[in-house]
Structures are given as structure tokens and as C-alpha cells.
């Protein structure tokens, strides 16, 4: 540093200190970026003050029904020893359902149930077609109007002490179904009802096989139904043929004597 710079150093320090003081004054002024409305001070207060963002986050984390509590509940429900966890485990129920030969693949394959349902002449298109089921449902004084009318089915469902209250009550149907060892656990448990229903060769496959058997029997039943009128006419023809034969047998001499003997009363002496 030369002599000139050394001589001007106190002046530079003074100028820098003055500028810093002026800057701090501007920052701390009511119209400055810290104290003005919506400034940094207000925002910082919203974060660290009582009831601020940090306080709210702390209360949320401490709440048993908050996100942390829900996450713990979800972790408990999906643990390895719970039905949902077993269903989600590797080679569990969900894996078997999504297997190449599982019900999901059969449901989504070309020509499968979903493909047929979404085809142009399938049930979904018929449901949404003009004048179809949806139009009838939403028509004036249709089923939906009757359900939503005063005193209708929805009112009866939501009335105090009604069906919905009984279902959602403590110890009600829903609570019993979701309780440990309840219907949901029985459905999702290993070798449970759902697994027995969907396992290869299970109830669903047996129902499908039964449907195929009934389809094969349908033509035979139709043929049998067509043959019944012919059988009736044959029985009528046989009845018409038997009556003349009976009359002819009655005209024969031996037949008359036999009839007379059979018709004569038995004497007491003959009985002795």
C-alpha cells in the first residue's frame, strides 16, 4: 500500500461505516424491508411466533391423529403379521392376483370381461345410451328423484337411529367387520375366503366350470322341451288306441262270461 492509500484509509473506513449505518437505518426503518408490512420481520414472526408455522408443525407432529399418527397406523396395518401386509408381501395374495394366470390378467386380457364390458355393444355403452338405464335413472320422477325425495329411501337411511347410525355405531356392523379377527381379516387372511375364491381351482373357477356345463346342457334341455309336445301327442294316440281294444275285449264271449262270473255275488254255501 502506498502512502496515498495509507493516508486515505481512515477516510475510506469512515465512509464505509457511514454507509453501513445508513443501510442498517434503512433496514430498521418502518418502511424498510424488515419492519414494513409484509416484510421480512413479519414473515419471520409468522414462522417462529406462537401459533406460527413452526408451532403448527409441532402440534401436527404431536397429534396422534395427524400425519405421523396416520403413517404409524398405516405401517401397523401393513406389517408382515397383519392381513393387508400378508396380501402385499412377495408371493402374497396381491402377487397371485396379478400373476400371468391370475384374475387381474384374465380380467384385462383381450376379449376378457373388461373388454366385453367396454365394447361398443357392451353393457357400459348400453347403460350410457340415449334412453338407456342412466337416462331412466335421472329422468324426472325417476328412481333417483324417488330416492332423494322427502321421506324417501335416503331420508330413512340418514334418520337418527336409522340404518346408517346402526352400521357406524360403537360395536356396530362396520366396527365388528374391521375388528381384529373380523370379516375383513378373515377375507384377507392366508387361506381366507378371498384366497379360496380366487385360487386356481377355487370357488370362482368352479362357478365358471359350472356355467360352462350349464351352457352345454342348454341345447339338450331345449331339445327335451321340444320333444315334450310330441310325447304328449303320442300318449294321446296310445290312449285312443287302448279304448277300442278294451271295447273289443268286452264283446268277446269269453270276456263276457268272465265278466259275469266276476260280477256274480258269492253265496255263503260256497264260502263253506
Q: What ranges do the domains of the chain cover?
A: 16-77, 80-117, 122-154
Task: Check residue 179 and give its pLDDT.
Answer: 81
What pLDDT is attached to residue 39? 67
User: Which of the residue ranges 55-69, 125-139, 214-228 has the most confident prediction, judged by mean pLDDT?
Assistant: 125-139
What does the alpha-carbon distance between residue 12 and residue 26 come to, in Å, rounded to a whole number?
21
For residues 5 and 221, the model is more confident at: 221
| Structure-block grid coordinates of residue 16 | 464505509
Whether residue 37 contacts residue 43, with contact meaning beta carbons closer than 8 Å, is answered with no
pLDDT of residue 57: 81
Helix (H, G, I), strand (E, B) or coil at 182: coil
Q: Mind listing the pLDDT tens digit for each residue in 198-249?
A: 777 777 788 888 877 878 887 877 777 777 777 777 777 777 766 666 666 6
Average pLDDT, the chain: 76
In terms of Cβ atoms closer than 10 Å to its own Cβ (0-12, 13-18, 19+), residue 78 is middle
Q: Is the pLDDT of residue 264 over 50?
A: no
Q: Higher confidence at residue 238 or residue 258? A: 238
CA 111 to chain centre: 23
Is residue 256's pLDDT more than 80? no
State residue 251's pLDDT score: 65
Across 174-179, average pLDDT: 81
Query: How many CB atoms lie under 10 A from the CB of residue 114?
Result: 16
Say what the pLDDT of residue 270 is: 42
pLDDT at 254 > cutoff 60: no
User: Cβ distance 84 to 188 under 8 Å?
Assistant: yes
Maximum distance among all Cα pairs of the chain, rounded to whole angstroms: 179
**How far, in Å, CA of 183 to CA of 174, rounded?**
10
Dihedral of alpha carbons 163, 169, 172, 175, sign: positive
Q: Is the pLDDT assigned to residue 101 strictly greater than 70? A: yes
Q: Does the pLDDT value for residue 37 go beyond 80?
A: no
pLDDT greater than 60 at residue 257: no
CA dihedral 77, 80, 85, 86 (to 10 degrees): -140
- Cβ atoms 101, 107 nearer than 8 A: no
Phi-psi region of 112 (alpha: psi -120 to 50; beta: other; left: phi over 0): beta
Q: What is the DSSP string of 208-222?
A: HHHHHHHHHHHHHHH
Measured between alpha carbons, how far is residue 110 from residues 9, 105, 107, 116, 208 in Å?
87, 10, 9, 9, 18
Residue 253 buriedness (CB in 10 A; 0-12 / 13-18 / 19+): exposed
Which stretch of DSSP H or E encloses residue 127? helix 123-128
> Residue 250 — pLDDT band, cuts 50, 70, 90?
low
Cell 357392451, located at residue:
122
Amino acid at each position: 500500500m502506498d502512502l496515498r492509500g495509507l493516508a486515505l484509509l481512515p477516510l475510506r473506513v469512515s465512509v464505509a461505516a457511514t454507509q453501513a449505518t445508513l443501510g442498517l437505518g434503512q433496514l430498521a426503518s418502518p418502511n424498510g424491508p424488515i419492519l414494513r408490512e409484509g416484510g421480512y420481520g413479519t414473515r419471520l414472526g409468522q414462522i417462529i411466533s406462537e401459533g406460527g408455522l413452526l408451532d403448527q408443525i409441532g402440534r401436527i407432529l404431536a397429534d396422534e391423529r395427524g400425519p405421523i399418527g396416520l403413517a404409524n397406523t398405516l405401517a401397523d396395518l401393513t406389517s408382515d403379521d397383519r392381513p393387508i401386509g400378508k396380501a402385499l408381501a412377495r408371493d402374497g395374495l396381491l402377487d397371485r392376483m396379478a400373476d400371468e394366470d391370475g384374475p387381474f390378467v384374465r380380467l384385462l386380457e383381450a376379449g376378457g370381461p373388461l373388454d366385453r364390458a367396454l365394447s361398443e355393444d357392451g353393457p357400459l355403452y348400453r347403460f350410457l345410451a340415449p334412453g338407456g338405464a342412466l337416462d331412466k335413472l335421472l329422468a324426472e320422477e325417476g328412481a333417483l328423484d324417488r330416492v332423494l325425495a322427502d321421506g324417501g329411501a335416503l331420508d330413512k337411511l340418514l334418520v337418527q337411529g336409522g340404518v346408517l347410525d346402526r352400521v357406524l355405531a360403537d360395536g356396530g356392523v362396520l366396527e365388528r367387520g374391521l375388528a381384529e379377527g373380523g370379516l375383513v381379516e378373515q377375507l384377507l387372511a392366508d387361506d381366507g375366503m378371498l384366497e379360496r375364491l380366487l385360487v386356481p381351482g377355487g370357488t370362482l373357477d368352479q362357478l365358471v366350470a359350472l356355467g360352462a356345463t350349464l351352457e352345454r346342457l342348454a341345447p339338450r334341455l331345449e331339445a327335451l322341451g321340444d320333444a315334450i309336445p310330441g310325447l304328449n301327442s303320442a300318449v294321446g294316440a296310445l290312449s285312443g288306441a287302448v279304448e277300442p281294444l278294451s271295447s273289443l275285449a268286452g264283446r268277446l264271449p269269453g270276456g263276457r262270461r268272465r265278466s259275469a262270473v266276476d260280477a256274480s255275488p258269492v253265496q255263503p254255501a260256497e264260502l263253506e
